[in-house]
Amino acid sequence: MTELHGAKGAPHPYPGKLIIVEGIDGSGKSTQLLLLHKWLESKGYKVFFTEWNSSDLVKDTTKRGKKTKSLTPTTFSLLHATDFASRLYHQILPPLKAGMLVLADRYMYTAFARDVVRGVSRDWVRKLYHFAIKPDMAFYYRVPIEVAISRLLRGTRGQFKYYEAGMDMNLSPDVTESFRLFQSQILAEYDKIVEEFGLLTMDATLDIETQQEQMRTLVQDALRGYKPKRGTYGRRTLFWRRFDIPRSE
Amino acid sequence: MADGRFFGDGLTYLDPSDLKGKLIAIEGTDGVGRSTHIEMLQEWLEVQGYGVITTGWTRSNLMSKTIEVAKAGNILDHWSLSLLYATDFADRLEHQIIPALRSGFIVLADRYIYTAFARDFVRSGNRTWIRDVFGFALIPDLVCYMRIDVETLALRVIETTGMNYWESGMDLRLGADLYESFKKYQSLLIEEFDKMAEEFRFNVVDARKSPEEIQEELRGHILPVLPGHKRAGASEQVPA
């Protein structure tokens, strides 16, 4: 197997483009990525979408581990890395090699932020993902903690989930308070990551359509010179992703 | 990181200073007779009054099913495969090995991180990443490596369990059939184990000898590591 380029180092050698979004729960990143997806498809691009912790094999295990509350910071981190490796190999690399656009909802930076807050070593988790490729564009949707909380509370989800709120860390017996403490630490960690890896910071407090306009402008610039692969007879792909409630991982 | 008991970047949220027990790893390739000898060692240690737990590769509560499913049908890249092993190992380390060591047990590990190192190296040709991944592992108090040559191993495996897909490294497409593939794959593993034996100073035991002789040698290596072994009056058996 060939040695891949480091996550920090050289760009990947494939003809496709990898665009990723990062941000805490309630930042609106998934909505933005979905709108970008619609737009790219409407322009005739071939697009493949993948999201964090979604491979069947690992998802079932994570679910089991969460149910029995037996996950430790290290097994939690390793399970997500396994999921990522499997998706990179099976979902991300093939379309990139075929010259497609790949959109990823969360990338390794999620692990760098969240797993470190959970207590694993900063160096270790970076080494863990050394096989990852560097995205062509990485957006970070930055949002103040209170905005994220009010969005999540009045939104469709209603309440926070156990791990999403960091309840396993015993920060506070109150779920909302625990979420606030846990996600605030994650925000602080993201701020460091933005500098370290040069993520594009987006203001996630703006109107949805304003944010989307900014995103599309940036993507359009980045895609200048990119030759989209025509599908058979130039046929447009179906809008196969429905606009539904963003799932939390 | 700063703690010498961890292989690399350690479990930062865990203090390993109060681990009273001893961690003994038995390494060696597939079918070399590790589990038989571990059973005998456990018996021997328990008779002497030591508390013993054994832990084996892919036997964690969290991962054993997942790994079976992965191996049964899904074509895995070497990263996922190694990370699945690492998750299994981490689960056992934190839920079995460390608690047992804290309570003063002797932990006999059937395979340890070196198995993962060998398997990943054979598939990737790179040693750095896999060793970084297992940085959180505890360095064992003793590693015994049961060494065998591939000719003897092939005969032994055919006589007992038969060759299977993964033990033959069929995912690597090294040979025309199961037998050829088994021999090439196991030779590569043995070659890498031999290199690690020097690098990490394994206690090498010749696994071609009779079971009695092998057991005797293993006990000879283990004896000096045991807490208070001199008190037990075992001075005659202490090897050089």
DSSP characters for B112-181? -HHHHHHHHHHHHS-SHHHHHHGGGSBPPSEEEEEE--HHHHHHHHHHTT---TTTTTGGG--SSSHHHH
CB B198 within 8 A of CB B205: no
* pLDDT confidence band for B57 (50 / 70 / 90): very high
Of B10, B69, B124, the CB nearest to A57: B69
CB contact under 8 A, A79 and B87: yes
Q: Answer whether residue B183 shows pLDDT above 90.
A: yes
Q: Is A237 domain-assigned?
A: no
Interchain contact, A75 vs B94, CB within 8 Å: yes
CB contact under 8 A, A78 and B124: no
Q: Each residue of A14-69: pLDDT tens digit?
A: 999 999 999 999 999 999 999 999 999 999 999 999 999 988 878 888 888 888 88
Between A121-125, B62-66, B140-144, the lowest mean confidence (pLDDT) is in B62-66
Give domain status of residue A233, yes or no.
Answer: no
Contact B87 A78 (CB under 8 A): yes
pLDDT at B240: 45
The answer as to whether A10 is a domain residue is no
What's residue A67's pLDDT? 83
- What tens digit of pLDDT does each residue of B162-172 get? 888 888 888 88
Confirm whether A156 is domain-assigned. Answer: yes
**pLDDT tens per residue, range A219-235:** 999 999 887 665 555 45
Pick the range with the lowest mean pLDDT from A142-151, A163-172, A190-199, B82-91.
Answer: A163-172
Q: B11: nearest CA in chain A?
A: A120
pLDDT at B199 (0 to 100): 97
**Cβ distance of B129 and A70 shorter than 8 Å:** no
CATH of the domain at A112: 3.40.50.300
Q: How many domains does chain A have?
A: 1
Chain B residue with CA closest to A86: the answer is B80
pLDDT number for residue A234: 47
% of chain A exceeding 70 in pLDDT: 87
A228 domain-assigned? no
Position B192 pLDDT exceeds 60:
yes
Q: Check B132 against A131: CB less than 8 A apart.
A: no
pLDDT at B238: 45
Is A90 part of any domain?
yes
pLDDT digits (tens, 9 = 90+) for A164-174: 888 888 899 99
Pick from B1, B80, B126: CB nearest A82: B80
A205: in domain: yes
CA B173 to chain centre: 25
> Which residues form the domain of A200?
19-221
pLDDT in tens, B146-160: 999 999 999 989 888
The yes-or-no verdict on residue A237 having pLDDT over 70 is no
Report pLDDT for A7. Answer: 53
Neighbours of A172 (CB within 10 A): 16
- The chain A residues in contact with chain B (CB within 8 A) are 1, 3, 57-58, 60-61, 64-65, 68, 70-75, 78-79, 81-82, 85-86, 88-90, 119-121, 123-124, 127-128, 130-131
What is the predicted pLDDT for the residue at B74? Answer: 62
Q: Helix H segments across chain B? A: 34-47, 64-73, 78-92, 98-102, 113-124, 128-133, 150-159, 178-199, 211-222
- Residue B75, pLDDT score: 59
Chain B residues at the A interface, defined by Cβ less than 8 Å, are 1, 8-13, 61-63, 65-66, 69-70, 74, 76-80, 83-84, 86-87, 90-91, 94-95, 123-126, 128-129, 132-133, 135-136
Q: Please give the pLDDT value at position B77.
A: 86
What average pLDDT score do residues A192-197 get?
A: 96
Q: Read off the pLDDT of each residue in A187-213 and give the average, rounded to a whole number.
A: 97
- Helix then strand then coil, in percent of chain A rounded to 5, is 50, 10, 40
Domains of chain B: 22-148+202-228 (3.40.50.300)
pLDDT of residue A8: 63
Does any domain span residue A9?
no
Least confident of A77-91, A116-130, A235-249, B76-90: A235-249
